[in-house]
Protein backbone atom coordinates (compact mmCIF):
# COMPACT_ATOMS: atom_id res chain seq x y z
CA UNK A 1 0.00 0.00 0.00
CA UNK A 2 2.91 2.36 0.72
CA UNK A 3 4.07 2.08 -2.91
CA UNK A 4 0.59 2.75 -4.23
CA UNK A 5 0.35 6.15 -2.48
CA UNK A 6 3.15 7.83 -4.51
CA UNK A 7 1.78 6.33 -7.73
CA UNK A 8 -1.70 7.51 -6.85
CA UNK A 9 -0.36 10.98 -6.07
CA UNK A 10 1.56 11.05 -9.36
CA UNK A 11 -1.57 9.94 -11.22
CA UNK A 12 -3.65 12.66 -9.58
CA UNK A 13 -0.96 15.24 -10.39
CA UNK A 14 -0.86 14.20 -14.05
CA UNK A 15 -4.66 14.16 -14.25
CA UNK A 16 -4.77 17.61 -12.66
CA UNK A 17 -2.16 18.91 -15.10
CA UNK A 18 -4.07 17.45 -18.03
CA UNK A 19 -7.27 19.04 -16.74
CA UNK A 20 -5.52 22.40 -16.34
CA UNK A 21 -4.34 22.24 -19.94
CA UNK A 22 -7.87 21.62 -21.19
CA UNK A 23 -9.23 24.76 -19.55
CA UNK A 24 -10.44 27.15 -22.24
CA UNK A 25 -9.14 30.69 -21.87
CA UNK A 26 -12.13 32.86 -22.75
CA UNK A 27 -11.90 35.56 -20.08
CA UNK A 28 -11.74 39.04 -21.63
CA UNK A 29 -8.82 41.05 -20.25
CA UNK A 30 -8.25 43.80 -22.82
CA UNK A 31 -9.83 45.40 -25.84
CA UNK A 32 -8.52 47.46 -28.72
CA UNK A 33 -11.66 49.50 -29.41
CA UNK A 34 -12.90 46.87 -31.86
CA UNK A 35 -12.87 43.56 -29.97
CA UNK A 36 -11.95 41.85 -26.70
CA UNK A 37 -8.90 39.63 -26.16
CA UNK A 38 -7.98 37.03 -23.56
CA UNK A 39 -4.66 36.94 -21.70
CA UNK A 40 -3.07 35.13 -24.68
CA UNK A 41 -4.12 38.04 -26.94
CA UNK A 42 -6.59 35.81 -28.77
CA UNK A 43 -10.00 37.28 -29.67
CA UNK A 44 -12.68 36.41 -27.16
CA UNK A 45 -16.22 37.39 -26.23
CA UNK A 46 -17.56 39.56 -23.47
CA UNK A 47 -21.05 39.07 -22.12
CA UNK A 48 -22.29 41.48 -19.46
CA UNK A 49 -24.07 40.26 -16.34
CA UNK A 50 -27.40 41.32 -17.87
CA UNK A 51 -26.70 39.12 -20.93
CA UNK A 52 -25.62 41.90 -23.29
CA UNK A 53 -23.26 40.42 -25.90
CA UNK A 54 -20.37 42.49 -27.25
CA UNK A 55 -20.86 43.64 -30.85
CA UNK A 56 -18.18 41.44 -32.49
CA UNK A 57 -19.69 38.29 -30.96
CA UNK A 58 -23.16 39.37 -32.11
CA UNK A 59 -21.64 40.03 -35.54
CA UNK A 60 -20.20 36.51 -35.39
CA UNK A 61 -23.67 35.14 -34.75
CA UNK A 62 -24.96 36.97 -37.81
CA UNK A 63 -22.05 35.96 -40.07
CA UNK A 64 -22.08 32.36 -38.89
CA UNK A 65 -25.75 32.08 -39.81
CA UNK A 66 -25.16 33.80 -43.16
CA UNK A 67 -22.16 31.71 -44.21
CA UNK A 68 -21.57 28.62 -42.04
CA UNK A 69 -24.78 27.16 -40.69
CA UNK A 70 -25.86 25.65 -44.00
CA UNK A 71 -23.21 22.94 -43.53
CA UNK A 72 -22.37 23.12 -39.82
CA UNK A 73 -25.92 23.44 -38.49
CA UNK A 74 -27.62 26.21 -36.54
CA UNK A 75 -25.80 27.65 -33.54
CA UNK A 76 -22.60 25.70 -34.21
CA UNK A 77 -24.29 22.43 -33.21
CA UNK A 78 -23.16 20.45 -36.26
CA UNK A 79 -25.16 18.43 -38.74
CA UNK A 80 -25.10 15.09 -40.49
CA UNK A 81 -23.04 16.86 -43.14
CA UNK A 82 -20.39 18.70 -41.12
CA UNK A 83 -19.07 18.75 -37.53
CA UNK A 84 -20.08 21.02 -34.66
CA UNK A 85 -17.91 24.12 -34.91
CA UNK A 86 -18.69 25.20 -31.37
CA UNK A 87 -16.49 22.30 -30.25
CA UNK A 88 -13.84 22.90 -32.93
CA UNK A 89 -13.43 26.49 -31.76
CA UNK A 90 -12.59 25.13 -28.30
CA UNK A 91 -10.36 22.26 -29.38
CA UNK A 92 -8.44 23.91 -32.21
CA UNK A 93 -5.73 26.45 -31.66
CA UNK A 94 -6.90 29.90 -32.85
CA UNK A 95 -4.36 29.91 -35.68
CA UNK A 96 -5.37 26.41 -36.81
CA UNK A 97 -9.01 27.55 -36.85
CA UNK A 98 -8.08 30.57 -39.02
CA UNK A 99 -6.00 28.33 -41.32
CA UNK A 100 -8.91 25.89 -41.77
CA UNK A 101 -11.32 28.71 -42.64
CA UNK A 102 -8.83 30.42 -44.93
CA UNK A 103 -7.43 27.40 -46.76
CA UNK A 104 -10.20 24.87 -46.31
CA UNK A 105 -9.84 21.37 -44.98
CA UNK A 106 -9.92 17.97 -46.57
CA UNK A 107 -10.01 14.64 -44.73
CA UNK A 108 -10.98 11.79 -47.00
CA UNK A 109 -10.29 8.20 -46.04
CA UNK A 110 -12.14 5.00 -45.17
CA UNK A 111 -13.50 6.51 -41.94
CA UNK A 112 -14.50 9.98 -43.07
CA UNK A 113 -15.24 12.22 -46.01
CA UNK A 114 -14.88 15.84 -44.92
CA UNK A 115 -14.26 18.61 -47.39
CA UNK A 116 -14.52 22.24 -46.32
CA UNK A 117 -13.98 24.84 -49.03
CA UNK A 118 -11.46 27.63 -48.62
CA UNK A 119 -12.96 31.00 -47.68
CA UNK A 120 -9.72 33.02 -47.87
CA UNK A 121 -10.99 35.17 -50.74
CA UNK A 122 -14.50 35.66 -49.38
CA UNK A 123 -14.65 39.00 -47.53
CA UNK A 124 -18.06 38.08 -46.06
CA UNK A 125 -16.18 35.44 -44.07
CA UNK A 126 -12.64 36.75 -43.74
CA UNK A 127 -13.59 40.26 -42.60
CA UNK A 128 -15.57 38.62 -39.79
CA UNK A 129 -13.57 35.45 -39.05
CA UNK A 130 -12.61 36.68 -35.56
CA UNK A 131 -16.27 37.47 -34.89
CA UNK A 132 -17.31 33.98 -36.00
CA UNK A 133 -14.57 32.48 -33.83
CA UNK A 134 -15.66 34.37 -30.70
CA UNK A 135 -19.31 33.50 -31.31
CA UNK A 136 -18.46 29.81 -31.65
CA UNK A 137 -16.32 29.84 -28.51
CA UNK A 138 -19.13 31.53 -26.58
CA UNK A 139 -21.43 28.75 -27.80
CA UNK A 140 -18.82 26.09 -27.04
CA UNK A 141 -18.45 27.06 -23.38
CA UNK A 142 -22.23 27.61 -23.23
CA UNK A 143 -21.92 31.27 -22.34
CA UNK A 144 -24.49 31.90 -25.09
CA UNK A 145 -27.64 29.82 -25.47
CA UNK A 146 -28.95 28.69 -28.84
CA UNK A 147 -30.69 31.32 -30.94
CA UNK A 148 -30.24 35.00 -31.55
CA UNK A 149 -28.66 36.80 -28.59
CA UNK A 150 -31.39 38.73 -26.79
CA UNK A 151 -29.24 41.79 -26.02
CA UNK A 152 -26.26 43.21 -27.87
CA UNK A 153 -23.95 46.16 -27.54
CA UNK A 154 -24.03 48.78 -30.25
CA UNK A 155 -21.53 48.68 -33.08
CA UNK A 156 -18.62 50.98 -32.23
CA UNK A 157 -17.22 53.51 -34.69
CA UNK A 158 -13.89 51.67 -34.56
CA UNK A 159 -15.61 48.40 -35.55
CA UNK A 160 -17.47 50.14 -38.38
CA UNK A 161 -14.21 51.66 -39.66
CA UNK A 162 -12.36 48.32 -39.51
CA UNK A 163 -15.27 46.61 -41.24
CA UNK A 164 -15.35 49.21 -44.02
CA UNK A 165 -11.58 49.04 -44.53
CA UNK A 166 -11.67 45.25 -44.76
CA UNK A 167 -14.60 45.12 -47.17
CA UNK A 168 -13.01 47.76 -49.43
CA UNK A 169 -9.54 46.16 -49.22
- Which regions of the chain are under pLDDT 70? 1-22, 112-113
Give the chain's domains with CATH numbers: 25-168 (1.10.760.10)
The pLDDT of residue 11:
43
The pLDDT of residue 15:
44
The pLDDT of residue 106:
80
User: Which residues are 44's β-sheet partners?
Assistant: 36
The whole-angstrom distance between residue 94's C-alpha and the CA centroid of its chain comes to: 8
The pLDDT of residue 112:
65
The pLDDT of residue 88:
84
Backbone angles phi and psi of 108, in degrees to 5:
-120, 120
Amino acid sequence: MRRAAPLLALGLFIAGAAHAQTEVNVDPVSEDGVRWFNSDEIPTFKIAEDGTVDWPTFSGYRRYHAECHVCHGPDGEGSTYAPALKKSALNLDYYDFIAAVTGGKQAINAAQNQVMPAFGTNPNVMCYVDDIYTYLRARGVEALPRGRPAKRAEKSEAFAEAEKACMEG
